[in-house]
Structure 1
Amino acid sequence: MTDPSAEDPISIQIEEPMPGTSLLRVAGEVDMLTSPMLRDGVADALALEPRLLVIELDGIEFLGTSGLAALFEARDEASRRGCELRLVCSSRRVLRPLEIAGLIDLFKIAESVPGALAGAGSDSG
Structure 2
Amino acid sequence: MKKWTFFMLLIAVLLFGSVIGFNLFKQQKIAEYMANRPEPEFPVTVTEVKAVDWVPVIEAIGFIEPNQGVTVANETSGVIDKIAFESGTQVEAGQPLVLLDSEVEKANLKSSQAKLPA
Q: Which has the higher contact order (CA 8 A, sep 6+)?
A: 1
Higher strand share: 1
Give TM-score scaled by structure 2 length: 0.17
User: Under a length normalisation based on structure 1, what TM-score does the superposition of the two structures give?
Assistant: 0.16
* Larger-gyration structure (1/2): 2
